[in-house]
Structure 1
Amino acid sequence: MSLSLVCALVVVGVLATCFCEPINFKKCDYNHNLLTDGTPDIKSVDISPCTAQPCKFHHGMNVTVSVTFIAAKNSVGLTAEIYGILSGIPIKFRMPNPNGCQSSNITCPIKSGDQYTYSGLFNVLPTYPNIRLTVKWDLKADDNSYLFCFLFPMEIDT
């Protein structure tokens, strides 16, 4: 391996360490929506752009979410949902593409026990108020049970 390649790898590693923070997320409480084939298994969550928590987003931004998970059941269709939780009350946000089988990096049908990486997009609309809240993002199977669900803190500002 050449010295310039080693130096480039070191620089990239240092920059990644300085500018990225792992996203701390909380798994949802699945007790109200138990799966018959097991519990959802989230391996990782990446949110961009988010370098610190709460994730700070501005009006007009596009937020991308990437979730690696193990499917707990088979499903022909997938539905993605996003909610803002204020004072314990979930308020559904509009998603550009709620169909989890289209433009999400997943080819349906999915198979129980296989690992998938879902990619989703969320627009921070100008009509959203400047606010700090908890976001709930989920992906549901065709029987409306969770394949994954997680929470993270978010702040919307101008």
Structure 2
Amino acid sequence: MKCIIGIVVIFGLLAAQTSGVALTNRGQRWPWFRTKSGLPVEDCGATYDILSVQFSSCSNIPCVMPRGTDVTVVAEFSATGASALPSLKHEVYFVLNYVKTKATVTPAACEGAYCPLQGDIGLRFTAALHVSSLLPALRGTLHWELRNDNKDVLLCYEILITIR
């Protein structure tokens, strides 16, 4: 009897998924959201509002990143007083098969008169992300944090990627 009830529940869930009914996880909303422009990302605890994230290597997710290349990343965010901050440091990781690999970002810090700049819809930073030729060709996520001198996480997002 328990087996039959379990099968009915599984088929009910499958039917709900295929008929377009949204399934929620105990009332929580799906964490991926579309920014005002750019790619959909997951906010992983940003203090500032993420307005736009764009990658030169893709226009949809998962974002394809060829090994041995540099990918230009442009992010815009909304923050009161952010332009007055002396330095914002990038902490970026590729997460492939649950293994975090530190990424190389140029410039390593967003600082001085050139960063962050006023963008089209908010404050903007531009950085070059190096995709090492040593990375395995896998699907995963890219985890990006922007921290101030006090180590506070001001901007944090994750995006689905494919390393090729």
TM-score bin, normalised by smaller chain = 0.5 to 0.7
1:101 corresponds to 2:111: yes
* 1:26-80, Cα deviation, whole Å (9 max, x unpaired): 11135xxxxxxxx321111111120221111112221111111123555221101
CA RMSD of aligned residues (A): 2.6
CA deviations 1:62-100 (Å, max 9, x no partner) are 111111112355522110121112454533222232111
Query: Match for 2:148 among 137, 141, 145?
Result: 141
Deviation, 1:22, is 3.9
The 2-side partners of 1:81 and 1:26 are apart by 16
Q: Distance in 1 between matches of 2:100 and 2:57?
A: 23
Matched AA of 1:58: P
Q: Which residue of 2 aligns with 1:121?
A: 128
Measured at CA, do residues 137 and 156 of structure 1 come closer, stay the same or move farther in structure 2, by a change above 3 Å? same
Give the structure 2 partner of residue 111 of structure 1. none
Q: Flag structure 2 segments of 5+ consecutive residues without an equivalent.
A: 1-36
TM-superposed deviation, 1:140: 0.7
The runs of at least 4 aligned residues of structure 1 exceeding 4 Å deviation read none
State the TM-score, normalizing by the size of structure 2: 0.65
Query: Which residue of structure 1 aligns with residue 64 of structure 2?
Result: 56
Q: Residues 91 and 41 (structure 1 numbering): CA distance in 2 closer, same or farther, change over 3 Å? A: same
Pick aligned residue for 1:151 from 136, 144, 158: 158
Q: 1:84 and 1:146, CA in 2 relative to 1: closer, same or farther beyond 3 A? A: same
Instruction: Note if contact 1:135-1:154 (Cα within 8 Å) is conserved in structure 2.
Output: yes
What SS does the corresponding residue of 2:139 show, helix, strand or coil? strand
User: Shift of residue 141 of structure 1?
Assistant: 0.7
Gaps of 5+ in 1: 1-20, 31-38, 109-114
In the alignment of these two chains, the number of paired residues is 123
Alpha-carbon distance between aligned partners in 1 of 2:97 and 2:152, rounded to the nearest angstrom: 24
Percent identity of equivalent pairs: 25
Aligned to 1:90: 100
> Who is 2:41 aligned against?
25
